[in-house]
Copies of this chain bind each other. A is one copy, B any other.
C-alpha cells in the first residue's frame, strides 16, 4: 500500500504547534527516512522556519496545492483543518496520519497504537487516525493486562497537562502563574476559568449527558483500539496546572484474578511500558519525570480490595510525545518498515 522508497517527502500540517513541532523533532530523533520536510501551517501561524537536521526549513501556508508529491502527511492542526485537507492530501496520493478527533471513530479509518493494534493498519485507505493523548497511554498499559485476564470495567480519572490544549494554553499557565505570584488577578483567555493553582474538571466540550467529549473519547477510542466493545469504561477528565505530562488514576475490574506482582511482571515485559513502582523508595511516575520520554510509565500498582478482581494503577506519559507525535511517527514507521 505504501510504495517503498529510500526516503519520503513528509508534510507536517500544524508544524508550528506544540504537537507539530514535536513531530518534527521525533522524525529527526528516530532517523525517519525523510527525503524532504514540508512544514505547513495556517496563514495565521505560517511564519518563520523550523529546524530539521541542522537546517532551517521555511513554514509554508497550507493550501489545497500543498500535497503534490507528498508521500506522508502528519496532521495536527485541529479537526476542522483535518476534515477539509486530509481528504485532499489522500486524493493527491499521500498517506495521512491524523492527530485530530475528526476521523477517529470513522469505521473506515484505522485508529492505531503500534504496541496495541498494529494489525489494524493493514486495512487503511490512505487515512489513519492517531488516538487522543489520554487514550494512548491508557491502552498501552491496559492491553497486556486485558490479554491475560480480560478487563471488564475501567474507572479512570485523568490529570491532564495544559500542553494537551496547545501552545497558547502553556503560555496562559505561565502568564497566570507569574501574575498570581505578583499579586495580580489574571483573566483567563484559553480556558473558561483560571488554570494556575487550580483544577478544571472540564476538557473539550460538554455533551447533553453531562460527560465531556474528552471523557467519551476514553470510552469509544479504547474499545476501538482494543477491538473489544464489551469493555465498560467511565471517565472523569480534569485539567491540572502542569505543563507537560498526563497522569491517570485507573481502576480496573478483570474477569480473572491478577495480583499486583503478576501485573508488574506482565507490564515489565510489555512493549512501550516502564514499570516505575517502588513507593517505599519514593519511586512512582510523575509528570515532571516523563517529559521527553518515549514510554508509558506505570506505578502505584495495587490490588483493589473493594472487589474480587480489581487493580489500581497510576499511568503517566508525555502527552506530546507518546500521546501524540511519537505515536504518529511510530505508525509511519510501521507503514514504511
Contact = CB atoms under 8 A, between A and B. Distances in A.
Contact of A155 (B155, B197, B198, B300): B155
B306 A197 contact: no
Given A233-B306, A279-B206, A284 B242 contact: no
Contacts of A238: 159, 247, 249
Contact of A287 (B198, B249, B280, B314): B198
A239 to B, nearest CB: 10
A236 B159 contact: no
A184 to B, nearest CB: 14
B299 A247 contact: no
A286 B232 contact: no
B234 A305 contact: yes
A286 B193 CA distance: 9
Contacts of A201: 247, 249, 284-286, 299-300, 314
Copies of this chain, whole number:
2
Interface in A252-296: 260, 279-280, 282, 284-288
Interface residues of A, number: 57
Interface stretch (A54-62, A65-73, A173-181): A173-181
Contact of A306 (B177, B234, B236): B234
A318 to B, nearest CB: 13
A193 B178 CA distance: 22
Contact of A280 (B178, B206, B286, B303): B206
Contact of A202 (B198, B279, B304): B279
Contacts of A155: 155, 251, 306
Interface string A133-160: 0000000000000000000011101010
A195 to B, nearest CB: 10
Contacts of A122: none
A312 B234 CA distance: 8
Contacts of A310: 234
Contacts of A173: 197
A197 B236 contact: no
A210 B306 contact: no
A337 interface: no
Contacts of A285: 201
Closest CB pairs A-B (n = 4): A232-B306, A157-B249, A157-B157, A210-B302
Given A198-B242, A206-B279, 6 more contacts: A153-B306, A159-B240, A178-B181, A209-B303, A210-B260, A234-B312
26 contacts: A153-B306, A153-B307, A154-B306, A155-B155, A157-B249, A159-B240, A177-B181, A181-B181, A197-B242, A198-B288, A199-B242, A200-B286, A202-B284, A206-B279, A210-B301, A210-B302, A211-B302, A232-B305, A233-B306, A234-B251, A234-B310, A234-B312, A236-B249, A236-B300, A240-B241, A251-B251
